[in-house]
Structure 1
C-alpha cells in the first residue's frame, strides 16, 4: 500500500508571466496532519488548487492518492474532502436541502456523523443559505466536505471565519478523524495556535516554494532563541553558526538559531565568557524567525 497521500516534485504554476509556484517538493504521508503555513501570496491556495485538479500545473509533477490531479478518477475524488476558503452554495436552498443534495453524490455518506456535526456546530436545518453568516457558511462547508468521511481532507483556511467556539469544535472533529492514523489532513491556516494543537507535520511556504517540511515536534525542538550576556561589549559582527537572526546591543545579543545542542551552548559560553539563556519558541515565533531570515 502506498503510504504517500500527496507527492509533488518540482511543481510549478504560472499565470501568464507571473510564476506563483516555483518548484514545490512535498510528500504527505498517510495518517499525517499537515499544517500549511505561509504569508499572503506565498502560494498556499494555488498549491491546494493544483493538488485538486482545479488548476493545471505548468511544470513538474504531482500525484494525489496515486493519481495525476488533473485526471483524478471518480473513485479518487470520492476519497477527498475539500473545503475552500470562501464557501459558495445555492442561496435558494435550505441547510437540510444542501446536505441532502451533496450526500446523494456519495454512497458512503455518514448521515449520523453529519447530523452530529450539524447539532454540534449549531446550524439550523431549516435556515435558507442566503441568510447564513460567513461563519455559518464556513461551518456548513466543512460539514459538506467531511460528511462522506474521506481518506484525505484538504482544507483551505478552514477556521478563518469561525468564532472561538467554532474553531474548538472543528479542531476536536479533526482530532477524532486523525486518531486512526489512516486519514490524512492538509490544511492551510494563519492561526498557528490551532495548528500546534492538532498538526503532526508542518510545511512552511515562502515565495512559491516549501522552505521547510517536517514533524512539528522536531521543528520546535531545533529552533530556539538564545540570549547571550558577556562581561564586555560583543563585536558588532557577532554571529553564531546556524543563526537565523542576530540582534546585538552592547554586552548582550539575541540570536535565533536553527539547530542547538549542549555542545553548541558550551562553545558560546567559553568563546565569549558569557552566560547563555535558552528560550523555547512557539510555532508563531518560529515561523516569524524563519520568514525574517529569508
Structure 2
C-alpha cells in the first residue's frame, strides 16, 4: 500500500510557551489522489496545519511527512512537486505579470506554458501591467496560476477564492476539477465557502479547537449527519433526548433534532417510543458544519 502524501502523527503546535495548543494531537493520513476540503472556524488551526505541512512552521511536538520527507526538512525534489497558494498572495511589485510568470517558470523544467497561457486568458490577467497596482483578486489569481504552472503532485490552497469575484471563482473551480482528473494528484484546501467544497472535494477534514472532529469521505459525512423532525401524539417532556444528538429543539409535541451517526433503527425507535411521525432530512455541508459547531 503506497505511503500517504501527507502524514500527521500526534501533531502539536503552540506559539506561546504558556499558551494553548493551536494544534492539539492531529493524526491525519491523506492518500494520493485525494481532494480534501479543510473546514473550521476562524482560529481553529487550519492555516497552522497547512504551514506545518509545508515546513513553514515547525511542530512543537509530533511530526508531519510530505511525499515521504519530513516537512521541516523537505528536499529540493519534493519541493518541486508542491504547489502552494497562501491566504495573502505576495509577489514582486516592480515586475510585470508576464515577467513574474517567466521568472517562476525558470525554476521548473516541467513548466506547462500552454496551461498557464490558458489560465491567464480565462482569468483575464493583465500580462503587461506591473504587479504592484493589481487588485487583491488579481493577485490571488496570479498566485493560483504560479502554483499550477508546474503541474504539482500536491497542491495546497489556503482560502484560495477569498478575494475572487463570482466569475473568477467559477473559473477557479473549473480549473481544480480539471487538475484533479489526474488520479495521482492530491489537493488540500481550506475555505469558508462550503458550496465550493461540495463541488470538488471527495474527503473532508473538520477542525474544532485544534483537533479533528471528522475526517473521511464527504458522502459518508452526509450519510451520518441528518435532521429529524419528530411529531408526537402528545407534548414531549423536557427530558426528551435522542442518542447521538448534536442539537435538539422542542416545541410542545414537535422536536427538531440533528443527529450524528444516523441509523434507521433510531427512527423506528422514536416512532415506537413516542407514537410519533418521524421524517428524515438531508443536510448540505454548510448545515452539517453549523450543527457540529453548535453542539
TM-score under structure 1 normalisation?
0.98
Q: How does 1:144-223 map to 2 (within 5 A)?
A: 144-223=146-225
- Cα deviation 1:167-195 (Å, max 9, x = unaligned): 11111111111112210000000000000
- Cα deviation 1:182-241 (Å, max 9, x = unaligned): 100000000000000000000000111111100001101110000101111101011111
SS in 2 for 1:131: coil
Hey, what does 2:292 align to over in structure 1? 290
Distance 1:229 1:131 in 2: 59
Hey, what does 1:105 align to over in structure 2? 107
Q: How does 1:35-184 map to 2 (within 5 A)?
A: 35-184=37-186
Q: CA deviation at 1:261?
A: 2.8
Q: CA deviation at 1:120?
A: 0.8
SS in 1 for 2:22: strand
Q: CA deviation at 1:262?
A: 2.5
Hey, what does 2:251 align to over in structure 1? 249
Distance 2:41 2:104 in 1: 33
Distance 2:239 2:163 in 1: 45
SS in 2 for 1:63: strand
Distance 1:96 1:195 in 2: 31
SS in 2 for 1:129: coil
SS in 1 for 2:132: helix
Cα RMSD of the aligned pairs, angstroms, is: 0.9
Q: CA deviation at 1:2?
A: 2.4
Q: How does 1:27-38 map to 2 (within 5 A)?
A: 27-38=29-40
TM-score under structure 2 normalisation?
0.98
Distance 1:180 1:106 in 2: 19
SS in 1 for 2:5: strand
Unaligned runs of at least 5 residues, structure 1: none
Distance 1:219 1:161 in 2: 28
Unaligned runs of at least 5 residues, structure 2: none
Do residues 11 (structure 1) and 16 (structure 2) align?
no
Runs of 4+ in 1 over 6 A off after TM superposition: none
Is the 8 Å Cα contact of residues 3 and 68 (structure 2) preserved in structure 1? no
Hey, what does 2:235 align to over in structure 1? 233
Distance 2:267 2:239 in 1: 19
Distance 1:26 1:260 in 2: 24
SS in 2 for 1:197: helix
